[in-house]
Chain A
């Protein structure tokens, strides 16, 4: 079955305030990104320096089937005994497809992570952009509709990503050494 698929470029930037058993984690946090429909996933390297504020800056590329409604981001931490999940966040595809901006726009997104009990556990910061769309052979037993997510065929990335969303305003800290 031929299906539309989009290449998703997800840059896992950083996470904040990660805890394991109510204690800030020390190191070895990694992030796995999954799509909801096919069983694709990608994982980052482990962060060794950031502690509870890990920083990866790693780009993961995934194929996102057109009918995918969401991707899942999972933060794990390797402890001495096992790899434990710290928290997950489900990112609806609508946050980076369609909506306000054209395809190819570099979305900077942050999500609240929740652990398996549903408790808040840190924040993850990622950026997502959609690669140019291409035809992709894909077999699936599920049914889907092409029309759910329309997006312009021509994605001009050059402006999507170059937009300023913050103006640097120069402030003095009126400090003097006395």
Chain B
């Protein structure tokens, strides 16, 4: 069987510490969304809390030794149902354990988030079982404690001590109260904007390979409290070299804790079979590394060796040098604004006939006499309300397209205010008035052309540039249909991609916006004009904006039944309580989704992120399922966790020459090969392998997606999934659930997780440009940003399916497409996925195919 090694040449590139990935701090709040919410008065609407746990005086349940405790953390829904958030590790033989695993919870001040902690004594026989695989019924229950998250957060030292109680004894007359105490500590996750760039090199490494020099690479790990090392990043492999000097490594302070926390740097000799030999290691904090750099001296590597029962460190001749050590502060959206730049907002409204007669209530342009805004109005309000804070003059150019002004031919860019000279209107109210009056004055026509509007916007932007303006332009195009002038639009976009302009296209109504994705170059392909010019960067984002009302109607008719439906309904009820805060939770959510898209538009840097970090969690915002749905029909992010530009190879998965992915596994009992079938995507095949592996080997199975198993189990255990669960997108299990049940949040997390990692390619590249000849002192900050931002796309290699910033898709497409994440794992009894599960035995037609493949495989093996 081929491809069983996850470490082929792809494993040789740097991971984690690359320029692109260091710009993604863990748990960093989303500035834009945060600011937006704050602007609406939702101060501290959410914050990320890290819960650490300890216990004292636990009951001893083991006869010969002490208990081996583990805590399972649940949240309690309003209906009393519990849903698991996560588990700690098992601490061996301790009645006063301190658990290392932290639980991240998003704290919502307006929601009572009840947490339940259950402590179990894990039997010795389960000790080599992964924590998430443990069946809790088989474990001994030690006690339970309940508190509200706000109780912890409001304590001055954020430390809450709870008495553990034993459920069954509660009813007894003389409850045994002495079950020990649980100490809960909550800490706000901090984000650090400081990043360190280091160039490392080694001298005099030892030979590890037989016939050649070693192929060294470095793994940098942080040291957790328990002594466990958590890899932070690894460098690329340098072939056949005993004095390697690696490309710069970027480490965010947040990744390692602080400058003084110890880092373990291990130098390995790369081995194709994945068993890399340790050449030597070194333990230094960032501060010490900095000293090493300034002194210019090398530090000897050591190699831990075991002689009998003693282990000691053998100091090697090999040395590590730090050639470069620079500390940089990552700039954020806010820094950018603080640098003096302004956003300038422009709007273009679709007046094509497909919107329907604006006098009829079913028209998208219908202006409700009751004052309820129509889809266009809402989209305008929601985007402008955010942007106006950054636009000082609040004069917005407003255009319409696709309509016939009185006594004229169809215009594809007319001034909304009816004026023939100036297109600007005053404030939101100005846009609204102009929009309403335009509806009276034009007759809807067609077709839908974006080209003229984009050209006009680009003209505005270039004029501002010509006048020395420090403005960044955002064009909002609201449309109900698919653009018909593809090439012209593309040409206009490509031409404008060199300007300080971004375009946010909002789709209203129920049309199929699939084609809009072409413009939204998120899929990795850069826009190309008819003349062969390629867009310098991706300046377009597309978001469908759906009518909340019509969505609800939809649901009542049961038109859509995706797995997330149930919990969602509950959540709705739940949210009603907070009506004052969430006048419309859904539209609120849509807004944040739009803001996300907006900030993505603004960031518009690197979608082809070469090194993407894997396990990600949903965004900070409660992933309320909303009318908008998205669908990731590309490979899930897990596929990229090698952080390389190459596709990941999955265990037990091979690609057929014609592109399909075949999965097979060996039955350990019969030593026979079991054919699992062929799949459209490698993830699907990998999942099928996982499922079979779990069946065969249970907890010892080596999986392609170990992180998903937890989700499966949790899914099982949380049939009572409640609303709060969704409010607490914290644990990994949570993540998986969200992946499965809430396409929206899945998407949203993509939106937020990937987009604008301010990629800092070797960004000095333009510095000299600016130094030489261009006197732009006042442009100091922006200039550097500019250098970074510009051409970030180009610096990345584009071989992967890369971008996961998929645009929103209309919901009805969801069922049609195969969702790689949607495969269920029958082995775990979860049946909640919507797409077709893989089958162990394939259908008749496939059987033949499979047999043929089987034969072929055998032939391969014989050869």
Contacts and interface: CB of A to CB of B under 8 A. Distances in A.
Interface string B12-27: 0000000001001111
A156 B466 CA distance: 9
A164 B332 contact: no
16 contacts: A112-B528, A114-B532, A123-B534, A125-B536, A164-B470, A165-B498, A166-B605, A167-B602, A168-B330, A169-B755, A173-B26, A174-B752, A175-B26, A175-B615, A175-B617, A178-B731
B101 A172 contact: no
B731 to A, nearest CB: 8
A102 B465 contact: yes
Contacts of B789: 164-168
A161 B769 contact: yes
Nearest to A112: B532
Interface in B280-294: none
A111 B533 CA distance: 4
B619 interface: yes
A99 B496 CA distance: 11
B363 interface: no
Query: Which residue, B616, B749, B788, B794, has most C-beta atoms of chain A within 10 A?
Result: B794
A173 B757 contact: yes
Contacts of A158: 774-776, 779
A88 B770 CA distance: 29
Contacts of A123: 526, 534, 794
Contacts of B341: 164, 167
B246 to A, nearest CB: 13
B545 interface: no
A68 interface: no
A157 interface: yes
Contacts of B619: 174
A165 B333 contact: no
Which 8 interchain pairs have the tightest Cβ spacing? A100-B462, A166-B789, A172-B28, A174-B617, A162-B779, A173-B24, A169-B603, A170-B332
A108 B616 contact: no
Given A102-B465, A162-B783, A165-B786, A174 B616 contact: yes
Nearest to B494: A110
B752 A171 contact: yes
B603 A174 contact: no
Interface string A64-94: 0000000000000000000000000111100
Q: Classify chain A's interface size.
A: 35 or more
B613 interface: yes
A173 B794 contact: no
B797 interface: yes
Given A13-B794, A161-B776, A164-B336, A170 B758 contact: yes
Contact of B756 (A108, A170, A174): A170
Contacts of B28: 170-172
Q: Classify chain B's interface size.
A: 35 or more
A45 interface: no
Contacts of B496: 100
A119 interface: no
B616 A110 contact: no
A164 B500 contact: yes
B146 to A, nearest CB: 24
B537 interface: yes
A125 B793 CA distance: 10
A168 B788 contact: yes
Contacts of B465: 100-102, 105, 159-160, 163
A110 B468 contact: no
Contacts of B773: 157
Nearest to B529: A112
B720 to A, nearest CB: 24
B823 interface: no
A149 interface: no
B617 A176 contact: yes
A160 to B, nearest CB: 7
A171 B755 contact: yes
A49 to B, nearest CB: 10
Contact of B499 (A100, A172, A175): A100
Contacts of A27: none
A48 interface: no
Interface in B344-369: none
A162 B778 CA distance: 9
B616 A175 contact: yes
A125 B791 contact: yes
Query: Which residue, A57, A127, A161, A173, has most C-beta atoms of chain B within 10 A?
Result: A173
B160 to A, nearest CB: 22
Contact of B613 (A109, A112, A173): A173
B693 interface: no
B599 interface: yes
Contact of A167 (B330, B336, B765): B336
B503 interface: no
B754 interface: yes
Given A162-B786, A175-B26, A176-B104, A169 B536 contact: no
Contact of B732 (A11, A16, A101, A178): A178
B617 A168 contact: no
Nearest to A110: B534
Contacts of A109: 498, 533, 536
